[in-house]
A and B are shown apart, each in its own frame.
Chain A
Amino acid sequence: MSSAAPQLAQGAHADGSLAHHFESHAQQNQAATLGMWAFLVQEVMFFGGLFTVYLVYRTLHPGAFAEGSAHLPRDLGTLNTGVLIGSSLTMALAVRCGQLAQGKRAALLIVATMALAAVFLGVKAVEYGHKWEDGLVPGLRWNPAAGADAHLNLFYALYFVMTGCHALHMLIGLVLMVFVARKAWRGGYSGANYLGIECLGLYWHFVDLVWIFLFPLLYLLHGPGGHA
């Protein structure tokens, strides 16, 4: 590729897929990937703050966290984990199709990712509904007799904030997917310039990463044994 790069770069500049300040698509891709990672590190810090609150309050009130976790439906949590991993697979395959300049396939795989994301959010909505009925929503609908531990509301406040922020990230991802899938379907990406799909993929996999940690920390704690 290197010997043909200058001519190719000029042509690419002309068709608009390569920004004028980059030498080549390879350089442009590297810069965009690095920039996306800088953004994701900031996201790690954002969720890191929430995980820190979790760490501190669970250290102070292990019983409340064990009791709260025991209330969460493990089957639905496990199902959603599988669904989100499936959506990560379809997203990764969409990026691969982007690399191979298969725009229509990439678009269909992004739509499949959206469908799986919708399943995840639907299951989440059902779970939230159950918590509402049981009076386990701190600040809005809280039944003081719901649990034995006086600090149970701390666990549920964190449950809603952490899974809520995660779900918000998924909703943002869904909106972005509409635009990227449309552009991919219309042949807006070439094999050399598939950055939109690549960066969307990085974002979506990050959302999956957050859930990989949220799932065991919220749903799988030990109750009866007293080991929180």
Chain B
Amino acid sequence: MSEHGHVLPLRVYLAVFLALLGGTALTTWVATHDLGPLNDAVALGIAGTKSALVILYFMHVRYQTRLVWVFSLAGFVWLVLFFILILADYETRLPVQGWGG
């Protein structure tokens, strides 16, 4: 890495931009089809892929130090753990109390 940081060629930015637009079109199109329990998995999978592109290329994390990798991943990893623990609570309440109908 030089003093100027890692200067990416223009085509990388344009390719990521087009991929993000394509992902948006895809997620909007998929939403017109009912995939049952897979609806959320597909929507979040596309959103996660788009996010990864933004983080790695637009935000340059791919070319940053390992410490930045750790920082940028930490937030998302803890958030996922948080979601899992919260759901483990609420999803197991339902059959017991008939919570929320």
Contacts and interface: CB of A to CB of B under 8 A. Distances in A.
A41 B73 CA distance: 9
A55 B90 CA distance: 10
B86 A55 contact: yes
A192 interface: yes
A78 B24 contact: yes
Given A37-B68, A56-B90, A93 B13 contact: yes
A42 B75 CA distance: 8
Contacts of A88: 17, 20, 54, 58
Given A191-B4, A209-B55, A227-B34, A52 B83 contact: yes
Interface in A210-228: 212-213, 215-217, 220-222, 225, 227
A25 B82 contact: no
A82 B24 contact: yes
B82 A52 contact: yes
A191 B7 CA distance: 11
Interface in B47-94: 47, 50-51, 54-55, 57-59, 64-65, 67-68, 71-72, 74-76, 78-79, 82-83, 86-87, 90-91
A215 B46 CA distance: 11
Contacts of A206: 59
A217 to B, nearest CB: 8
Contacts of A209: 51, 54-55
Nearest to B64: A33
A44 B79 contact: yes
Contacts of A59: 87, 90-91, 100
Contacts of A164: none
B26 to A, nearest CB: 11
B59 A216 contact: no
Contacts of B54: 88, 205, 208-209, 212
A41 B71 contact: yes
Contact of B51 (A29, A38, A213): A213
Nearest to A89: B17
Interface string A192-208: 10100010011001101
12 contacts: A30-B65, A37-B71, A37-B72, A41-B74, A45-B79, A48-B82, A89-B13, A92-B58, A205-B59, A216-B31, A220-B28, A227-B34
The 4 closest A-B pairs by CB, nearest first: A60-B100, A44-B75, A41-B75, A220-B31
Interface of B: 1-5, 7-8, 10, 13-14, 16-17, 20-21, 24, 27-28, 31, 34, 36-37, 39, 43-44, 46-47, 50-51, 54-55, 57-59, 64-65, 67-68, 71-72, 74-76, 78-79, 82-83, 86-87, 90-91, 99-100
